Amino acid sequence: MTDITVPQDLWDSEDEGVILTWVYQTGATVAKGALLAELMVEKAQLELVAPASGKLTILAPPDTIVRKGTVIGRID
């Protein structure tokens, strides 16, 4: 089981970000390194990739405000 956490190095500041889209839905099988979600901080659009392969569970849906370190999903 791997948490999908908003990486500390995804953006520089301590600002909040927002989840724009999830590419896959809960239950999907995803590959490590695949694009999972798009986030936005200020005007920058950022990519979040799968930290592991396995089955996806989304915990934070699109439009959720997040911080670096927020757990937004899980891969089993």
In 3D space, the residue among 16, 22, 76, 15 whose CA is nearest the CA of residue 51 turns out to be 76
DSSP 3-state of 54? strand
Contact set for other proteins, span 37-76 (CB under 8 A): 38, 40, 42-45, 47, 49, 62-63, 65
Residue 9 CB, nearest approach to other proteins (Å): 14
Tell the residue number behind the tokens 């889209």, with chain if given.
21
26 lies in the site for other proteins, by CB under 8 A: no
Q: Which residues bind other proteins (CB under 8 A)?
A: 15-18, 20-25, 28-31, 33-35, 38, 40, 42-45, 47, 49, 62-63, 65
